Structure 1
Amino acid sequence: MRSPICSLLLASAVFAAPLAAPLVALGVGAAPDLAHAAVPETKRIALVDLQRVLMETTQGKNSKKDLEKAVAKSSAKLERKAADLQKQYEDLQAKAAMLSESELMRRQQELMVAEQELQELYAGAQEDLAKKEGLLMEKIYKNASAIVQSMAAEEGVQIVLVRSELTVLYANPQLDITNKVIVAYDKKFK
């Protein structure tokens, strides 16, 4: 004995088949013929790891060194100011018992202002360094982009993707033109 659901499915299949045949003959509901569809043919795809271009080109390496020097210089200046401020705090703690209440309050206020200024200097230094890094990276990116466009035109590449773990899960290593881009970049931008 068949279940009511099975009987209902069988009946709907029997009645639907004769109705669907004329529609398929007219091309309605039929699967598209992919062999004859007008799909543009992709000749070639390439990948470029821009992070490697940034880190491995001569200009990128020099920019990184310049940024590291700027960070070291800024850090040394901030560390000196922080050490000086710490010394002032320790000095105030040592002399607190000998100072009048108004003098103690005045010095504490001065130290709080100095600490706030130090925090502002730190934030400003971070902002300046981030801005410098952004400008350097933008310059290298624009240069690399121009080189990639030129290489793509020469080699008949229609699509160049940025290779990263977030954008490309897998690609044939033969599609990666990063090494060529680095060599061309170093030749053009010394």
Structure 2
Amino acid sequence: MKKLSIAALALAAFLCAPMPALAKEPVFAYANLQKALNDSEGGAKAKEALNEELKKQKEAFNGKQEELKKLRDEIDKKSSVMTKEAKEAREQEFRNKSQDFQRQFMESNDKLNAMRQEKEDEIVKELLDVVDEIAKKKGYTYVFERSAGGILYAPPEADITDEVIKSYNKRAKGKK
């Protein structure tokens, strides 16, 4: 009888003890943010704007480059009839203009790269918000970034890139 009551007490204690929650099976997905950046409407618009700016700068620099070429040709043609001082002055003028051109070109490239990086960072931040939203809605435990190189294999059905692009585009249209 004593054994039965001890067993009953042990069973009651076991049943009344808090049970740890059953661990939920992790659900994985991945997205290619580089593809989303390139294929989204925001990414395409940013790329188009940068290309327009690049085109404007290229036209401006082509004019300056042509001016330098004319100056060089003039110096070469007239060097035989110029005095030594006049030739040195024109050579110095050419060097100064050439250095100025190179400095402006480098500054322009730096400015374009900064603009590109700023816009990409802005879009990637919004894409990450979309990924977070999708992960919570669909119950994903983990979402990995495909283009970062950490995934060697994943089934195509775990790829949410197209859904991320679609949601991002929808969200971007709603902001207008």
Q: TM-score, normalised by structure 2?
A: 0.82
> Between Structure 1 and Structure 2, how many residues are aligned?
151
SS at match of 2:106: helix
Q: Over the residues paired in the alignment, what is the CA RMSD in angstroms? A: 1.3
CA distance in 2, matches of 1:74, 1:117: 15
Tell me which residue corresponds to 2:118: 135
Q: TM-score, normalised by structure 1?
A: 0.76
CA distance in 1, matches of 2:52, 2:155: 39
Within-5 A mapping of 1:48-67: 48-67=31-50
CA distance in 1, matches of 2:90, 2:122: 48
Equivalent position amino acid for 1:179 in 2:
D
**1:142-178 residue CA offsets vs partner (Å, 9 max, x unmatched):** 1001111111111111111111273222211111000
- Is this contact kept in 2: 1:43–1:156, CA < 8 A? no
CA distance in 1, matches of 2:150, 2:61: 39
Task: Provide structure 1 residue ranges, at least 5 long, that are not aligned to the other structure.
Answer: 1-39
**1:126-149 residue CA offsets vs partner (Å, 9 max, x unmatched):** 101100100110010010011111
CA distance in 2, matches of 1:98, 1:144: 66
Within-5 A mapping of 1:62-141: 62-141=45-124
**1:97-133 residue CA offsets vs partner (Å, 9 max, x unmatched):** 1111001001100100100011101101110110010
Task: Provide structure 2 residue ranges, at least 5 long, that are not aligned to the other structure.
Answer: 1-22
**1:32-62 residue CA offsets vs partner (Å, 9 max, x unmatched):** xxxxxxxx65521111111111111111111
CA distance in 2, matches of 1:42, 1:144: 26
1:183 and 2:171 correspond:
no
1:161 and 2:144 correspond:
yes
Equivalent position amino acid for 2:62 in 1:
E
Q: Percent identity?
A: 25
Equivalent position amino acid for 1:140 in 2:
I
